[in-house]
Amino acid sequence: MAMKELRHGSHECVLTSPETIADGICNMCFKDKPVEFACSSCNFDLCKACSDIPPKVSHEFHSEHPLDLCLRKYDQKPGHIICSGCGNMSSDCFYKCKECEIYLDLDCALLPNIFRSWDIKTELHYSHAHLLKRCRPGPDARGSCLLCELPLSPSSICYGCVHCYGFVHERCRNFPVEFQHPVHPQHPLKRLDFTLNCGPGISCYKCRNEIYTVPVGCLECKFFLHLRCADSMLRGLMHKSHQHMLFYVGCYTYVYTLGFNENYHCAICNKYTGEQFYQCLECGWKVHCECIEIPRSLVKKNFHIHPLAFTIFLGEDELLEYCGVCETMVHVGHHVYSCQECDYLGHIECILRKEAPSPLYLKDLDMTRGTNGEDCKTEKLENKLTVNVIEHTHVMMSWDTGNNNTSCGICEGNILSSSWKCETCYFFAHDSCVKLGRPSRHRLHLNHDLTLMSSYPTGVIMSCNTCKGEIRGFNLLCRICILITCMRCVVKFGELQRGQKVIGTTKVKCSMYVGSHHLFQVMGETHSSHSF
């Protein structure tokens, strides 16, 4: 019997039916099913259901052009699409129009009618380097919201990044950017923007873990927190053994990172504190949970009708993630009070406290809410030029260099004329360089605002799109086109200097939209004595 052959849009080779039907992982739906067609040389298998999916469809949702089938490709840029029908973000198989930015996932493409199209709004948000699009995380949902750090659900309406697969809940976009927290009364804490979360990582003051999302912090004091830790530090425990508020630490990283010495031994029994303990942030006092005589079981009917037992939360059931008192997350490996008869959980400090603290939630703090895309800046900085780096926000003032041999901290070139100096440190910059600190359009890229970065942000390629060289320091980033340019090219191509003229324009196709963008003008030397 002759083998059947199939040309399919999911694979470039001709597929053939195997001699014997066997189960395999379909390369299209990734399910374990009998293989209907295969390409042995490419190790590509296709089940019957997927082999019947047409390589092209004409759909009334987009009747102007046919839609082509696209298989998941790990090197595809960007790595995800948003279905124009249902709004789900996906990296699996989908149909797309090669002439328009129209995508349909398989579920929508095979429906005869789609009654409503998804409203794909776009915006730039301070929490993320790239353009975010309104969407749903879809069936592959994982991780948590970049702002509230609570888990994502497949159907939750979010703003997501098709490059990084990062999401912000729609309800969290206007999350407060500044609030006064009792753990740091000297200054307000701010939700810092994405430009301050690039390059080397920073650690959380409470749990000592690295902060991978946008931190809450005080730049002046170099004090940084996870949002979840800022939340948990409203729930301290007062105990007769100590005069200050005690906070729970349940992270082995704290101990192993900072080393073994007398500072990390229990203040009561003088034994090694281990991986979980309570600490005082004011004086560094640390104590075992057992040494402050936390009851092994108790009944508090104002919280829960059943007896509660002191135990460690193992996280076997994903539903058991929130405290029944404060409704914030309970973390795996932390001590909790749990009910043996039902699914109730509570933080130790929430159950043991005698009265509700004020405030109990971050949302109850004295807060300032920002608009979408607004950077976190104090009143002091609003009318001044600033340059943001992770260690320090440089507030710049005009400076006369005189005859000093001073280098620009941004482009590293010598400063020969007007310049700026940081008010508090020895950071100098050219007038033209420091003005890049405010998002603005530049000769390098006239279509969108560029953001000055002190290093490459997480998720952005580390080489310059212009010269292909490695990004080592300051650079300009277009968050819409994902175009990154090193300061060498900014200096070389970006500014018209005396004795130069424009000799050409280079066009590069924008990665986000159809069409070409003018990226930069190319300058050449001229012997004319005239200046522009």
Q: pLDDT, tens digit, for every residue of 395-425?
A: 888 887 666 778 898 888 888 777 888 988 8
**Where does the pLDDT of residue 518 fall: very low under 50, low under 70, confident under 90, or very high at 90 and above?**
very low
Q: pLDDT, tens digit, for every residue of 343-393?
A: 888 888 888 877 665 566 666 666 555 444 444 343 345 557 888 776 677
- pLDDT exceeds 80 at position 30: no
Return the DSSP state at 225. Answer: E
User: From the DSSP assignment, how many helices (H) and strands (E) are in the chain?
Assistant: 7, 42
Averaged pLDDT for residues 508-518: 34
φ and ψ at residue 94, rounded to 5 degrees = -160, 170
Instruction: Give the separation between CA 349 and CA 446, rounded to whole angstroms.
Output: 55
Return the higher-pLDDT residue of 368 and 465: 465
Q: What pLDDT does 65 receive? A: 92
The mean pLDDT value of the chain amounts to: 76
**Where does the pLDDT of residue 134 fall: very low under 50, low under 70, confident under 90, or very high at 90 and above?**
very high
Averaged pLDDT for residues 190-208: 71
Return the higher-pLDDT residue of 127 and 264: 127
**Where does the pLDDT of residue 455 fall: very low under 50, low under 70, confident under 90, or very high at 90 and above?**
confident
Query: Which stretch of DSSP H or E encloses residue 492?
Result: helix 487-493
CA distances from residue 277 to 16, 65, 268, 272, 284 in whole angstroms, order as listed: 62, 63, 12, 10, 12
Averaged pLDDT for residues 285-309: 86
**Where does the pLDDT of residue 313 fall: very low under 50, low under 70, confident under 90, or very high at 90 and above?**
confident
Return the higher-pLDDT residue of 284 and 402: 284
User: Domain spans of the chain?
Assistant: 5-51, 176-232, 237-349, 379-436, 439-525
Instruction: Give the separation between CA 82 and CA 152, rounded to whole angstroms.
Output: 16
Instruction: Give the separation between CA 277 and CA 150, rounded to whole angstroms.
Output: 24
Closest Cα to residue 480, out of 141, 125, 32?
125
Q: pLDDT, tens digit, for every residue of 46-65?
A: 888 888 888 888 888 888 99
The arrangement of secondary structure in 379-436, i.e. its CATH architecture, is 2-Layer Sandwich (3.30)
Return the DSSP state at 65. Answer: S
Torsion, Cα of 246, 390, 168, 206 (10° steps): -10
Q: What pLDDT does 243 receive? A: 87
Reading the block at residue 271, the tokens are 């034994």
Q: Per residue in 128-154, is it b (16+ CB within 10 Å) or e — as a string?
A: bbbbbbbbbbbeebeebbbbbbbebee
pLDDT > 70: percent of the chain: 78
- pLDDT exceeds 50 at position 476: yes
Owner of token pair 């009364």:
185
Reading the block at residue 451, the tokens are 């953001």
Q: What pLDDT does 374 receive? A: 43
**Where does the pLDDT of residue 461 fall: very low under 50, low under 70, confident under 90, or very high at 90 and above?**
low
Q: What pLDDT does 212 receive? A: 72
CA 523 from chain centre, in angstroms, equals 37
Angle in degrees, CA 477, 481, 486, rounded to 5: 30
**Where does the pLDDT of residue 309 fall: very low under 50, low under 70, confident under 90, or very high at 90 and above?**
very high
Angle in degrees, CA 183, 188, 190, rounded to 5: 105
Handedness of CA 56, 57, 58, 64 (dihedral sign): negative
Angle in degrees, CA 254, 260, 266, rounded to 5: 80
Averaged pLDDT for residues 222-235: 81
Closest Cα to residue 326, out of 300, 287, 363?
363
Q: What pLDDT does 484 receive? A: 86
| Residue 216 near residue 227, CB atoms below 8 Å | yes
- pLDDT exceeds 50 at position 78: yes
Q: Is 352 helix (H, G, I), strand (E, B) or coil?
A: helix
Q: What pLDDT does 201 receive? A: 63
Instruction: Give the separation between CA 372 and CA 129, rounded to whole angstroms.
Output: 14
- Helices (DSSP H) in 94-162: which residue ranges? 106-109
- pLDDT exceeds 60 at position 259: no
| Residue 233 near residue 181, CB atoms below 8 Å | yes
Averaged pLDDT for residues 81-103: 88
Angle in degrees, CA 242, 244, 246, rounded to 5: 85
Q: Tell me the CA end-to-end span of the chain in Å, nearest whole number.
A: 80
CA distances from residue 343 to 178, 235, 325, 337, 404 in whole angstroms, order as listed: 35, 22, 13, 11, 69
Reading the block at residue 119, the tokens are 């409203």
Return the DSSP state at 4. Answer: P
**464: burial class by Cβ within 10 Å (0-12, 13-18, 19+)?**
buried
Instruction: Give the separation between CA 531 and CA 244, rounded to whole angstroms.
Output: 68
**262: burial class by Cβ within 10 Å (0-12, 13-18, 19+)?**
exposed
